Amino acid sequence: MTDGELQDICNYLIVVAREAGNVIRHAQPTSLTPTSKKNTADIVTQTDQAVEILIRSRLTERYPAFDFVGEESYKVGLEITDQPTFIVDPIDGTSNFVHGFPAVCVSIGLVVGKQPTVGVVFNPFQEELWSAVRGQGAFIQQFDGSIRKLPLVSAPSDGLRSACIGIEWGSDREGPNFELNLKVFTMLARTTTTGGAFVNSLRCTGSAAIAICRVAAGQQDAFWECGCWAWDVAAAWCILSEAGGIMVDGHPGNWNPPIDNRRYLAVRPATEGQKEFVEEFWWVIGDARSTYGPAP
C-alpha cells in the first residue's frame, strides 16, 4: 500500500473511532451490569460487544479483503497472519468504564506483515485522539481541536532513577504472574540502598493503549506489562514507533518482539539512552518470568 492509501485508511479509522467513542460516551456505564471473563478483575460489558460489532461492520464493509481481530470476538487459536489485519479493542479500560473513571479508549490498529502500520487511539471522555501512519509521524488532537506532533515532552537523562513508569496489575492475582508483578513493582519502588531502582513514580492507568500513547508523548518514560494482548497494543505501538519510541520484550533479551508477544516494554522517544534504559529495566526483572508469551 502507498503512503496515500495508508493515510486514507488512518483518516477513516479516525471517523470510525469517533463514532464508536460517541456510543461509549453516551452508554452510562455505571448503570450496566458487567460480566466476568476470567475473574472479577477481568470484565466485559454489553457496550464492549456492541462497539466491536459497530467497528467491525464499518471496517469490513469498506475493506472486505482485510482480516479482522477483535477482543470480544477472538477465539483461541486464531492467528495473526501477514495479511493486512485490523486489530481492535472496542473499549480498552473496561474496568475504568464501569467505574466512570475517564481513562477509556477505542483502539484500532492496522498491521501489515504483522508490523504495526496504522494506529488510532481515541479517549472519548477526555477528547484525546492519538494517530500515526508508518513513516509519517505520530500526532495527538486534543479537546480544543489543536493537533500536535509527538513527543510533547523532551526526555530526561537519568535513566530509571528519574523515570515515571506505567504499570498494570492485570487480572492474575495469584501464581507466578502475580508474583512477577510484585517483584518488579517492589524493585522499581525500593531505594537503591535496599537494592531497588528507586524510580520517580509508578502510574497505573487501567488502559495499556492510553499508557503507551502517554509514553509516545513523553508524558511517561516507559510502560511494562505481561499478559495484555495484541489488541491492547497494536494501535499504540504504531503511535509509539512513529514518535521515536521503541517496543521490546517484557522479558529480558528480545529487542524485536512479535505483535502477539503478550509481554511488552514500551520506552519513550529519545535521541540517546533507550538501549541503556531497557537494559536497566531488564536488570530489575532479572531471572523472574511470567507464563505469558506468543502462541507457539
> Which of the following is catalytic: 232, 242, 249, 260?
232
Selecting among 87, 91, 165, 285, the annotated active-site residue is 91
Decide if 221 is catalytic.
no
Helical H runs in the chain? 3-25, 46-62, 94-99, 176-189, 208-217, 230-243, 274-285
* Active-site residue flag, 94: yes
Identify the bridge partners of residue 249 per DSSP, sorted by sequence position. 264
232 belongs to the catalytic site: yes
Marked catalytic residue, from 92, 225, 249, 260: 92
Catalytic residue of the set 48, 52, 89, 242 = 89
Q: Which of 212, 182, 211, 200 is nearest to 284 (CA)?
A: 182
Pairing of strands 67-70, 85-92: parallel
Rounded (10°) CA dihedral 172, 173, 179, 183: 100
Cα 295 to Cα 278: distance, rounded to the nearest angstrom: 24
- Catalytic pick among 45, 47, 85, 94: 94
| Contacting residues for 33 by C-beta, under 8 A, at least 6 apart | 45
Of the candidates 48, 52, 71, 225, the residue annotated as catalytic is 71
CA distance 154 to 140: 16
Is 92 a catalytic site residue? yes
Cell numbers for 73? 470476538
Which residues are catalytic, by number?
71, 89, 91-92, 94, 232
